[in-house]
Structure 1
């Protein structure tokens, strides 16, 4: 009986086999003395490997050589495991014979055996190419999607296992399972747990294997089939449990589709020369204005009128433009990263409270799934994604800081301040959660709330104290002058019910479950306050004259969080209520379904944008294009004030508006603009104060065919 069996399958490794054996024998002798067996199993090699093994065995008594017909790596490993158990080895160590496993780490593995029965390497640095790294990560993701367990490196050939842990795992594995090592890793991750050790992985020193993607795809398919049969026959299940298992798998695949679809669509949309929303053009012009050294909040002019949002998105976008260049895609990258960050935070919040990877995945996936329901705004060059990300981050940090304090307190203050500096409606959830934190009557809770409120107050007062009164004017005075709109209010309720009704039901179910669980009242109140505040943060802009389905984004974040927590809380339940909840989650996923084509613009629209830019180039002199302020800049013209803040300013009827209105009337009366360009129709068109008697609609003859080139735009030229 040996204390250690070292197992290495061999298949056509004649180029490096001698060096591999000698190198490992030296380390094993130094560490173990003579108390080990080095078993090399020849898996039907067709080169000179059998002769080399026999020659080595004649001079090294520690070697045990086994010859067998070729059956593949997995069955060969299983045969070696069973031989080691028959020989009553106390520890089994499996490696590959291709020269990639570095023996320098064996001593560390052997010295760590008192800390657990199973030790695996995890390949961080690999010299065998990025494709193989990707394949290993893909296997990890595939196992997670099937089992809801994260196995860091399921097929690593560097594993030390105690006899009882290996024996128990092999009893659960069918004889005909092909990817033995992957299933073994999954079983041992569940019980007794794997101790992971970071190891590098060398380039193959012997036979170089080509990357055969069809082969790997076939292996993935075989693993899925084998795994599903294994799960079906592993234990007798009631019909209810089988339905629940099927529901979990379907839900996981569905939310995985939404995450993949969002990332793929966003990457396709990122650098397309099209304005997906007219506010994208303003934000591009705003960044252009800011990088030219101009103040963000200033007196309104015909070249620039500040928008009624906080400054943070403009500053972050300007930093990205400074690094990556001025393009729509640069600003969209800010929104894409912010949306991915929101998904990560939602998933992490669920994981922290439920320790359920399924729940965390559902939260992230359902938020990605609401991409279509919220009008495909997640990756647009707008403030919405950054605002939701920072608000969610603030909520997460306040939740943690109220319990533990520490660095989470400062993170909460930073995120909360950033959220309010991005969009003012973030005040609703931030102040509501600060009140919740104060109500906990703990030192950490009070400190967190006071620090958040103090940081927000300072951020809003500093601009005024430094003499910039325009900051407060645009962010608070102008919005407060907007009239209420019941029509917009009803539209918001209709959109919420149409796209998110099942999610709202699941939110209610999750809150009910939390209130019923002992010791979870504080968490339940937190979620109730957060969800309500995010709902009203989305509703508030619609009570005024602005807003669209993008205002559903904060509601979507709250619903995704509650749905993930609900899925995480009931993952082990076997009652009828669990069936209903998973049915609702599947129905909600179906309610969110959208065709990816709806998010993409046709090539004709992109060509039309390029044609419009070319047409702007052909216009002579100053151009006034308030609905497309960035297109003239792309054509080398001067910028124009954006129509949306001009219209917002017109609602105030105050001195600033009267001054801007006078400037506009004077410019139009004096025919300073050589062309005025509008869409055929636009919001608030009837309110625009331009003088038609001084300008005439252009025709194709008068402007060299420009009208046809721009298509849906109307051009007005000065009357002679």
Structure 2
């Protein structure tokens, strides 16, 4: 098979029909009828599964991978990639904020550059002021902490070669951060500037964004642990100097320290820092605990194809 198109479903019922039409037309222009469209239902609470199953009746190129519950966007994407069989794999969101027709542009770029990946990059991040600034802070902080050259304003849409997808699937983490995995997998990856539309409300709440940030940093960076060590050493040095001053002061001048304000402030400051540091260490330990259990990152409940209806 020449091409696989992979997308996830979550609150996507209003977009499925147009997405399938546009994705199919783009794929036919590129490879004829030698393609598949894989939609991964990530426990969508609306009628995305029912509607997409109806489309499989008359679309032999369509495959629905139904997960047993909501596992998260990144894990659903990896499940779709694992099921894809195409020589090239086009990953994209199904909400039409990313255009299915980018497939043709990405394919042309891949041929010109002779690369393994063409990935979409927003020249200007979409959304309101909070979404734009939170994105800037996230990418800047992640690059500084992880040391990875993560492109700014990266979107989901990307066209990948078979060997790149196979290499990507060798990562066995149960807690996934796809943008980081895309980068560390390597190969020749070329950006393509795109304009992402604002067609739907984001499903990433403020809490989800914070959780993703913590997960991404702890998955790809040891610097928070190094920072704890450095700050601990700094506090120890300051404390030692202060203790030395108090001893000298007591031996030669006999002037006891005045008041308890500085003492209580120091106790609360150090207590808060110790609690925060223990929390950071706890996050790393919880990730180790999660990985050692070796649980699958998704569970597939069923797979639907047009052949199922013909056999029935």
Residue 142 of structure 1: aligned partner = 141
Which one has a larger percent helix, Structure 1 or Structure 2?
Answer: 1
Confirm whether residue 50 of structure 1 aligns to residue 45 of structure 2.
no
Partner of 2:257: none
Within 5 Å, give how 1:305-316 maps onto structure 2. Answer: none
Deviation at 1:195, TM superposition (A): 0.2
| Residues 23 and 101, structure 2, Cα contact 8 Å, conserved in 1 | no
Q: How does 1:323-362 map to 2 (within 5 A)?
A: none
1:217 aligns with 2:217: no
1:139 to 1:3, Cα distance in 2 relative to 1, 3 A? farther
Matches within 5 A, 1:197-236: 197-205=192-200, 208-209=201-202, 212-228=205-221
Structure 2 unaligned blocks of 5 or more:
232-312
| d(CA) in 1 for partners of 2:21, 2:128 | 26
Matched-pair contact (CA < 8 Å) for 1:151–1:185: no
**2:22 and 2:101 in contact (8 A); partners too:** no
User: SS of the residue aligned with 1:103?
Assistant: coil
Give 1 or 2: higher strand fraction: 2
TM-score by length of 1: 0.30
Residue matched to 2:127: 128
> What is aligned with 1:340?
none
| Residue in 1 that maps onto 2:25 | 26
In structure 2, the residue corresponding to 1:96 is in which secondary structure?
Answer: coil
| Per-residue deviation, residues 303-329 of structure 1 (Å, max 9, x unmatched) | xxxxxxxxxxxxxxxxxxxxxxxxxxx
Residue 142 of structure 1 deviates from its aligned partner by 2.8
Structure 1 residues 154 and 83, CA gap change in structure 2 (3 angstroms)? farther
Do 1:154 and 1:182's aligned partners in 2 also have CA atoms closer than 8 Å? no
- SS of residue matched to 1:55: helix
SS at match of 1:52: helix
1:165 corresponding residue in structure 2? 164
Match of 1:177 in 2: 175
Residue 187 of structure 1 is matched in structure 2 by 184
- Cα RMSD of the aligned pairs, angstroms, is 2.5
The alpha-carbon deviation at position 58 of structure 1 amounts to 1.1
- Is the 2:96–2:199 Cα contact (8 Å) retained in structure 1? yes
| Distance of 2:196 and 2:175 partners within structure 1 | 26
CA change 1:93–1:135 in 2 (3 A) is farther
Question: Any idea what the Cα deviations from partners look like across 1:415-462, whole Å, max 9, x if unmatched?
Answer: xxxxxxxxxxxxxxxxxxxxxxxxxxxxxxxxxxxxxxxxxxxxxxxx
Aligned partners of 1:92, 1:137: CA distance in 2, in Å? Answer: 29
Query: What aligned pairs does 1:402-441 form with structure 2 within 5 A after superposition?
Result: none
Aligned partners of 2:94, 2:132: CA distance in 1, in Å? 19
Cα offset, 1:51, TM superposition: 1.2
Distance 1:149 1:11 in 2: 30
CA deviations 1:297-353 (Å, max 9, x no partner) are xxxxxxxxxxxxxxxxxxxxxxxxxxxxxxxxxxxxxxxxxxxxxxxxxxxxxxxxx
Cα deviation, 1:201-252, whole Å, max 9, x if unaligned, reads 00124xx236632321122112222334xx7xxxxxxxxxxxxx789x649x
The 1:122/1:21 distance shift into structure 2, 3 A limit, reads same
Look up the SS of the partner of 1:157 in the other structure: strand
1:83 aligns with 2:83: yes
Inter-partner Cα distance in structure 2 for 1:200 and 1:48:
29
Distance 1:45 1:193 in 2: 34
Q: Counterparts of 1:640-651 in structure 2 under 5 Å? A: none
Bigger Rg, structure 1 or 2: 1
Is residue 12–residue 46 contact of structure 1 (8 Å, CA) maintained in 2? yes
Describe the shift of the 1:100–1:212 C-alpha distance in structure 2 as closer, same or farther (beyond 3 A).
same
Change (3 A) 1:49 1:76: same
Which residue of structure 1 lines up, in the alignment, with residue 268 of structure 2?
none
Q: How many residues align?
A: 227
In the other structure, the counterpart of 1:101 is: 98
Q: Which residue of structure 1 aligns with residue 234 of structure 2?
A: none
Q: SS in structure 2 opposite 1:156?
A: strand
Give a deviation string over 1:115-168, Cα, whole Å, max 9, x none: 210110101245433433333333322331123232114752111111112222
Normalized against structure 2, the TM-score is what? Answer: 0.66
Q: How does 1:511-660 map to 2 (within 5 A)?
A: none
Contact kept? 1:8, 1:39, Cα under 8 Å: yes
SS at match of 1:59: coil
Change in Cα spacing, 1:154 to 1:182, as seen in structure 2 (3 Å) is farther
Bigger RCO of structures 1 and 2 (CA < 8 A, at least 6 apart): 2
